[in-house]
Amino acid sequence: MQYALLIYAEPGFREALSDEEREDVYAEYFAITGDARYSAGAQLQPVETATTVRMVDGRMLTTDGPFADTKEVLGGLCLIEAADLEDALDLAARIPAVRLGAAVEVRPLVQR
């Protein structure tokens, strides 16, 4: 089954790390890309770069910033193939952001 691992963290949490800690964290992420369950992933640009699109009365309305004003924002994602939820949770727990106080939402993809 395919799962999305959605990584939510407080903006700027990486900047609080020393250069050595940041290098270690990136090495952990690169190690995950070598896992057979890993399909794809991406780190997102800062939330300040987001633009939200809505339709209001048939007209497109765009606003700067994310959809919701929250403490933690979506900072990245991984797409994985896992045997079951427990297998997906195992890989999610390896994401370095979790150890650093972030949250990873594990969500199954709709199979079509």
pLDDT of residue 69: 66
pTM: 0.86
Task: State the fold for domain 2-108.
Answer: Alpha-Beta Plaits (3.30.70)
Q: Above 70 in pLDDT, residue 22?
A: yes
Interval 31-86: pLDDT, tens? 999 999 999 999 999 888 989 899 999 999 998 876 666 678 899 999 999 999 99
Domain ranges of the chain: 2-108
CB 43 within 8 A of CB 75: yes
**HEC readout, 45-64:** CCHHHCEEEEEECCEEEEEE
Q: How far apart are CA 83 and CA 86, in angstroms?
A: 8
Q: In 3D, which of 84, 76, 65 has the Cα closest to residue 104?
A: 76
